Structure 1
Amino acid sequence: MRRPHLLARLPLDPWILTLLGTVGLAALLPARGWAATVAQGVATGAVALLFFLYGARLSTREALDGLRHWRLHLTVLACTFVLFPVLGLAARGLVPTLLTPQLYGGLLFLCLVPSTIQSSIAFTSIARGNVPAAICAGSFSSLAGIVLTPLLAAGLLGGNGGGFSLDSLLKIVLQLLLPFLLGQALRPRVGGLLVRRKKVLGYVDRGSILLVVYAAFSAGMAAGVWHQVSAARLGALMAVEGVLLAVMLLVSWHGAKRLGFGRADRIAIQFAGSKKSLAAGLPMASVLFGAQAGLAVLPLMLFHQMQLMVCAVLARRRARDPEPAAGPELPAGRVAEVSPALQHPATRAR
């Protein structure tokens, strides 16, 4: 009876272990030649399917109900798509002393992806924060990231990583935006069915991400990009990401206080504004970086695990805070209706 309890207390997320296992498989048995072409084609189709499911599940009307708390959502969006990119650009000074150009490209891309949904909600709830606001903030960030992340990548990544071009923009439109819009258009017909089949769709979501990871890391092995990364560089990358996470946690917490938010709202802002979505970032990286996506997503994978571990500790500390939690400023009844459509199984990996 003790063993499951001990396993549940392990700091590593089982989903991360699955991703690492996929990376190991790609390292030992990378897809080459015709197999690489097939793997890339299947991964491309899986990404399109993934974003179609996102569009088919997301209720635009319910998500827009959360706009009543617009100051909080704008603050989270500013953390995610303004402050994070500014810090990412500042890290350019660490090249080449601490980071290689390829690792820096991945770090900058990490700073451009949207926030999480499920983990932001979970940590906000543990810390006795404004859960309805966290639901909407994470949802708006994910929706905005479909447009803002590629646009920011086009303007900021430049020649880093795999580069960005009009051809990449066209791929983003065809593989990400168009399937999402198609899912939104067909939502009245298939949305209810998708919500009722969440368990099956969870396999589709996670399977799609695993296919993307395998194809990306196989391409990286074939291109020999891993010979460019040493243990010292990886250690430096983890140290830089630790500083990045610490800065965002501090700024989002104290900045929200300066803006006049109460404790419950500050908790939602801190957890939604300091985190990055692995599930949203991986498919986008496969489109943006091409053959170098494997190395480009490494910073995001490391940051994802780091934020889960740190925020789990922080949420428990906030829960022990003797200060009473302020009541949520949003009507919980209406906004809470968003969660069944948004908390699909893939968001648990976020």
Structure 2
Amino acid sequence: MKRPVFLPDNFILALVGAIVLATVLPISGAPAAVYGHITTAAIALLFFLHGAKLSREAVYAGATNWRLHLCVLAATFVLFPVLGLAGGPLLSDWLTPELYTGLLFLCVLPSTVQSSIAFTSMARGNVPAAVCSASASNLLGVLVTPLLAGWLISSQGSAGFSLDAVASIVLEILLPFGVGQIARRWVGAWVSAHPKLVKFVDQGAIVLVVYGAFSASVNEGLWQELPLQALLLLLLVSAVLLAIVLGVTFAVGRRFFAREDEIVLLFCGSKKSLASGIPIAKVLFAGGALGAVVLPLMIFHQIQLIVCAVIARRYGRAADRATSGPQPSAGSGS
């Protein structure tokens, strides 16, 4: 029996568990320093595996559909940031500076890979194009996300971000990713043959970072300083942000693309990657601000999974009805 779409999966439950554990038993002092080195190593391993896993051939093969890919990248790295900046005057009096920083950071993240492709396949869309778009988004995101984050967040005067931290991207993210790309010819087949191990490293590294981030935030008094109305507003803002982007990508896709490519734009252009976002945030943001900064991403991630799963199933059922054709009525016959 399949899991109902509205229930969180085990990964989401693990993230919630990490937050609860950090709230009840936050790590601090010397153990926190050792734990920080462990998470740094886990992040480096994560991006090494991403570099070894992402196929440059898939990107090259789908590059001919340049209009579709440009639209996906525009939605990911232009539309989202514009919406995030536009909401600043409305949200500044309600969200804490750290939460708004997290919202801006969310807006500059790349698209997801696995779920974008999975939802495109479920909706009977153009899967090769989705592989190309999602992979290109993640390849660019490793470099573009820190640069956009530095520009947007610094221009807003938000706390918790240091431009000096961008240098850490080279050692903790870009270097492992590049080494993974170089090593792909030797380890790529092995990585592809062990998807469960790669998934475990992906999700395990994220859970480690979330526990450490929220431990630091709890030690800094996160829950005492975070108003309940700010959290509720964050839920509403995340839902509205997703609805606007889904509406724009759907309208553009329906107007300018065939149905299969419309689906790619809808799912690849509206998603934000938790797998890339939390490790990058760990490098860019220091101290107790990190927990509040990643909170908008965690909320948005769960909302996008639920909403996009429902949409993908509806697309899939419509495609099945279209291919099966009209069914004869019960009373018909020769």
In the alignment, what sits opposite 2:329? none
In the alignment, what sits opposite 1:78? 74
Per-residue deviation at 1:208? Answer: 1.3
In the alignment, what sits opposite 1:338? none
Q: Deviation per CA, 1:98-143, whole angstroms, max 9, x where unpaired?
A: 2121111001111010001111122222222212211111111111
* Code of the aligned partner of 1:59: S
In the alignment, what sits opposite 2:254? 257
Change (3 A) 1:268 1:6: closer
Per-residue deviation at 1:6? Answer: 7.3
Q: Deviation per CA, 1:127-168, whole angstroms, max 9, x where unpaired?
A: 222122111111111111001100101111113241221x21
Output the CA distance in 2 between the equivalents of 1:321 and 1:206.
33
Per-residue deviation at 1:223? Answer: 1.7
- Aligned to 2:161, which of 160, 163, 169? 163
1:121 aligns to 2:117 (yes or no): yes
1:234 aligns to 2:237 (yes or no): no
Per-residue deviation at 1:8? Answer: 4.6
Show the 5 A alignment for 1:240-251. 240-251=237-248
* Code of the aligned partner of 2:275: A
Output the CA distance in 2 between the equivalents of 1:319 and 1:173.
41
- Aligned to 1:180, which of 177, 182, 185? 177
* Code of the aligned partner of 2:32: A
Structure 1 residue runs of 5 or longer lacking an equivalent are 326-350
Output the CA distance in 1 between the equivalents of 2:322 and 2:70.
25
In the alignment, what sits opposite 2:48? 52
Output the CA distance in 2 between the equivalents of 1:255 and 1:151.
27
Are the aligned partners of 1:163 and 1:289 in contact in 2 as well (CA < 8 Å)? yes
Q: TM-score under structure 2 normalisation?
A: 0.91
CA RMSD across the alignment: 1.7
Output the CA distance in 2 between the equivalents of 1:226 and 1:81.
31
- Aligned to 1:224, which of 221, 236, 239? 221
In the alignment, what sits opposite 1:21? 17
* Code of the aligned partner of 2:116: S
In the alignment, what sits opposite 1:133? 129
Output the CA distance in 2 between the equivalents of 1:95 and 1:73.
31
Output the CA distance in 2 between the equivalents of 1:137 and 1:290.
31
- Aligned to 2:203, which of 194, 202, 206? 206
Output the CA distance in 1 between the equivalents of 2:197 and 2:115.
21
Output the CA distance in 2 between the equivalents of 1:197 and 1:122.
18
Output the CA distance in 2 between the equivalents of 1:35 and 1:318.
49
- State the number of aligned residues: 319
1:300 aligns to 2:297 (yes or no): yes
Per-residue deviation at 1:198? Answer: 2.4
Are the aligned partners of 1:55 and 1:181 in contact in 2 as well (CA < 8 Å)? yes
In the alignment, what sits opposite 1:347? none
Range with bigger deviation, 38-47 or 74-83: 38-47
1:38 aligns to 2:14 (yes or no): no
Q: Deviation per CA, 1:11-40, whole angstroms, max 9, x where unpaired?
A: 223211111111111111111100111111
Output the CA distance in 2 between the equivalents of 1:151 and 1:22.
29
1:148 aligns to 2:148 (yes or no): no
Are the aligned partners of 2:126 and 2:264 in contact in 1 as well (CA < 8 Å)? yes
Q: Give the 3-state SS of the residue equivalent to 1:160 in structure 2.
A: coil
Per-residue deviation at 1:70? Answer: 1.2
Are the aligned partners of 1:245 and 1:307 in contact in 2 as well (CA < 8 Å)? yes
Output the CA distance in 2 between the equivalents of 1:119 and 1:30.
31
Structure 2 residue runs of 5 or longer lacking an equivalent are 324-334
| Structure 1 moving runs of 4+ over 3 Å | 5-10, 320-325
Are the aligned partners of 1:66 and 1:136 in contact in 2 as well (CA < 8 Å)? yes
Output the CA distance in 2 between the equivalents of 1:49 and 1:65.
27
Per-residue deviation at 1:197? Answer: 2.5
